[in-house]
């Protein structure tokens, strides 16, 4: 009876360890998918900016306001950007951009090169003439598209490896504890 209870506890513990490790694997896979979603959203943002600037060239405050009402990772960021632009505190646009970027909580899912690219986008917004502005946006959009397709290609392999490795690790731990 006592042995049976101990065995039951061990099996239960083993299941927990296995599920926990598997869970971490799934979490890691989802995390790398968030990166893809962020990049995709950024691409859409740049497309939107391109279209709006080409069509009617509204100013940055107006564009940030319109972007802030779209649901996504960046809506609060754009709302804050609009507030900062209209606050006239003496900083440059890219300084506001850099500061507000720190408050995006999903930022940690991006690689350092992604973050660097995001900063560069901020540095190249607003202070150019219309034609150069459009060309710059196009260039960044192209770069983001490349990064996204590379990340998407790598994603399935990476996600599978992550889940398998963590699940195998779980089995190993279970065997070790048993």
Partner 1 sequence: MEQRDAVLQKKKGQVFHLLSGNVRRALERGNFDFMKLREIRMRVGNPLLVVYDGKEYQVTVDGDFQKSAEMPLRISSEDIRESLEYISNYSMYAFETEIKQGYLTVPGGHRVGVAGRVVWEREQAKSMRYISFLNFRLAHEVRGCADKLFPYIYEKNGIFHTLIISPPGCGKTTLLREMIRKISNGTDRHAGMTVGVVDERSEIAACYQGCPQNDLGRRTDVLDDCPKSEGMMMLVRSMAPQVVAVDEIGSRQDAKAIRYIMSCGVKLLATVHGETVEEMERKPVMRELVADRLFERYVCLRPGAVGEIQGVYDQTGKKIIPA
User: Would you tell me which residues interact with partner 1 (CB under 8 A)?
Assistant: 53, 57-63, 85-86, 88, 90, 92-93, 125-130, 132-133
- Please, what is the end-to-end C-alpha distance for the chain in angstroms? 19
Q: How far is the CB of 62 from partner 1 (least distance, A)?
A: 7
Residues 88, 98: Cα–Cα separation, whole Å? 16
Residues 71, 79: Cα–Cα separation, whole Å? 11
Residues 178, 175: Cα–Cα separation, whole Å? 5
Q: How far is the CB of 76 from partner 1 (least distance, A)?
A: 19
Q: How far is the CB of 118 from partner 1 (least distance, A)?
A: 17
Measured in degrees and rounded to the nearest 5, phi and psi for residue 6 equal -65, -45
The dihedral built from the CA positions of residue 88, 90, 94 and 99, taken in this order, carries a sign that is negative
Q: CB–CB of 71/45 below 8 Å? A: no
- Of 92 and 153, the one with the shorter C-beta distance to partner 1 is 92
- Of 101 and 125, the one with the shorter C-beta distance to partner 1 is 125
- Of 59 and 138, the one with the shorter C-beta distance to partner 1 is 59
- Of 32 and 120, the one with the shorter C-beta distance to partner 1 is 120
Q: How far is the CB of 104 from partner 1 (least distance, A)?
A: 20
- Of 82 and 148, the one with the shorter C-beta distance to partner 1 is 82
Q: How far is the CB of 74 from partner 1 (least distance, A)?
A: 17
Which own/partner pairs from 54-63 qualify as long-range (CB within 8 Å, at least 24 positions apart)? 54/134, 57/130, 60/85, 60/93, 60/125, 60/126, 61/85, 61/86
């Amino acid at each position: 009876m006592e042995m049976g209870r101990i065995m039951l506890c061990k099996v239960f513990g083993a299941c927990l360890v296995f599920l926990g490790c598997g869970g971490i694997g799934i979490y890691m896979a989802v995390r790398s998918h968030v990166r893809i979603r962020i990049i995709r959203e950024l691409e859409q943002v740049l497309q939107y900016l391109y279209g709006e600037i080409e069509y009617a060239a509204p100013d940055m405050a107006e564009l940030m306001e319109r972007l802030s009402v779209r649901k996504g990772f960046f809506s609060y960021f754009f709302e804050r950007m609009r507030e900062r632009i209209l606050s006239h505190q003496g900083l440059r646009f890219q300084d506001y951009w850099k500061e507000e970027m720190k408050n995006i909580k999903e930022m940690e899912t991006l690689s350092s090169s992604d973050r660097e690219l995001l900063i560069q986008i901020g540095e190249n917004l607003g202070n150019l003439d219309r034609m150069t502005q459009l060309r710059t946006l196009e260039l960044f959009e192209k770069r983001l598209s490349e990064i996204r397709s590379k990340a998407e290609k790598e994603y399935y392999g990476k996600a599978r490896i992550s889940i398998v490795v963590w699940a195998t690790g779980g089995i190993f731990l279970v065997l070790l504890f048993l």
